[in-house]
Structure 1
């Protein structure tokens, strides 16, 4: 299963995106894939590399990491699994990256929330019907979680590409 998050509004206080699920088309006349809109996303702001602290310096100094405001995770492709979140006391999607990603961005989940204050780097799902705010978040997290569970039951790997 492929999930695509396209960031469409990068603001100073938050980032709005569109989440799509890649569906495979297999009929006698047409074959391929298409991205089907699923819901909207809300993340902390995307910080350009010129203004961010380098990854290496943050990894050398954990105290720097605590003083940095939450920012959106880097663009890229990440594996998605569902694990138990002690913070939310629920089973929620978790993003996995390489060793440096997992050390710096430990615990990045897809979860519910309405404003950027509800995330410290995670991806929130919902409907963006007011500037910088999501609605129906729990519903959309539940729906995505069900799709991931179905894909895992079919023994499919689940990936999210953030662009």
Structure 2
């Protein structure tokens, strides 16, 4: 399963995105992929790392890229949650980046919050969307599919 996070609003204190699930399209006229909107996301401040920006601990969105996603137990949240895995450099700088519930940028220290962006700079119904996303990931893993998140 491929998840796509498209960052659409890069503000001074938060970043809003849209999360899509990519699906294969095969019919008699067309084959390829389509990205189906799933929910909105909220992250800390986006920083232009490619042009020299630096990470601010607990207040920076992760770099654009493609990350493996697995579900593991979070001692901090005391529940099973999606976690992003990257290469050695990512794991050294960004260890423990999860997708979890929360409503404002104050609820994240670099993680991705999911929900609906109905209020400026916030997501709502986050627990519901976290649960739904976990279900999708578990279903994909049950089919033997790897789960990836591409952030752009």
TM-score category (smaller protein):
over 0.9
Note the 1:64-79 alignment, pairs <5 A.
68-79=57-68
Task: Tell me which residue corresponds to 2:54.
Answer: 53
| Mapped partners of 1:68, 1:157: distance in 2 | 29
After superposition, where does 1:121-160 map in structure 2 within 5 Å?
121-160=110-149
Q: Cα deviation per residue 1:91-112 (whole Å; 9 max; x = unaligned)? A: 0000000001011101000000
SS of the aligned residue for 2:20 comes to strand
In structure 2, runs of 5+ residues without a counterpart are none
Distance 2:146 2:109 in 1: 26
Secondary structure, aligned partner of 1:74: coil
1:71 aligned counterpart, secondary structure: coil
In the other structure, the counterpart of 1:60 is none
- Corresponding residue for 1:117? 106
TM-score (norm 1): 0.89
Look up the match of 1:27.
27
Provide the secondary structure at the position in 1 that maps to 2:145.
Answer: coil
Structure 1 position 25, deviation (Å):
1.1
Counterpart of 1:80 (choices 48, 59, 69) is 69
Map of 2:84 onto structure 1? 95
CA RMSD of aligned residues (A): 1.3
Match of 2:6 in 1: 6
Match of 1:63 in 2: none
How far 1:48 sits from its partner (Å)?
A: 2.0
Distance 2:92 2:69 in 1: 16
Q: 103-112 or 24-33, which moves further after superposition? A: 24-33
Which structure has the bigger radius of gyration? 1
CA deviation profile, 1:28-62 (whole Å, cap 9, x unmatched): 222111000000000001112345338xxxxxxxx
Q: Deviations over 1:58-94 (max 9, x none)?
A: xxxxxxxxx7352000000000000000000110000
